Amino acid sequence: WRAPILHGSRHAAVRAVHAEKPPPEPMEVVNQISRSIRRKIYCTLLPLDRGDFRWEFLVPWNNKTLTPTDKLVVCTTFIGTAFGLQQIFEPGASVGVHASYIAQFFSFAMADPIGFRSLAVLTSVFEIAGDLFEEKSRGLFVAALKTTSPFEALAEADPEDFLPIMYNIIFVIINTYYMLRWFLQREALAEALEWTDEENALFGECFAPLGLRRAQFHRLLREAVFEVVPSEIA
């Protein structure tokens, strides 16, 4: 004996289940709307992504990759044009501060972190020189330097320039410190290539699995002492 299948009752139960489905939570509705808006913004802005800033952006009419000589020509032309426009439209502006802005602009075209920090140091140095040695509204294109002595320039500096000068000195110290660290790490990696077979084996079998980097292990080796266990004890 088999129980009869009541198709009508089954469809009614399915409809009841669908009818009892709770409405979406308010936050879920907000999240759906937010995702939809973000997706539309993403699709709108995606064509504007042209990759990292490159030297080629300064010469958009050029269809080839710039060589080092081409980059030198573009850089020289850009700097000459920038100072030429300053002399025409605002000759009294500080040449040192303007040079710092130019260096900062070119730092964005540096993919190399050490090159970026080098230009950051140059930017701060130019701005310090402009604040200390040039008169307000009477830059190098209009008047000569106030003095060539840094001590006299600091004594005669405008009080409004003390904070910018102080922060730029801090920036020089910080970026120089990171450049020093980069140099020391490169030297440590270079020395790591001269490890003995025992040192390489020790690093690969014991310290590399722990996440220690080669430069860190190299510094550890300076304090390490290798002991040879006699064969009869081993």
At residue 20, the pLDDT reads 58
Tell me which long-range contacts 53-61 makes (C-beta under 8 A, separation of at least 24).
Answer: 53/108, 53/109, 54/109, 55/109, 57/109
Identity of the highest mean pLDDT range in 127-141, 170-184, 205-219: 170-184
Q: What does the alpha-carbon distance between residue 83 and residue 140 come to, in Å, rounded to a whole number?
A: 11
pLDDT digits (tens, 9 = 90+) for 21-49: 667 677 888 888 888 999 999 889 888 87
**Do the beta carbons of residue 121 and residue 176 sit within 8 Å?**
yes
Q: Distance between CA 126 and CA 95 in Å, rounded?
A: 9
pLDDT, residue 98, reads 93
- Please give the average per-residue pLDDT across 175-200, as a whole number: 80
At 140 the pLDDT is: 81
pLDDT for position 79 = 93
Answer whether residue 14 shows pLDDT above 60. Answer: no
Map out the domains of the chain as residue ranges: 55-191, 195-234
Comparing 15 with 227, the larger pLDDT belongs to 227
Closest CA to 76 of 52, 55, 53, 54: 55
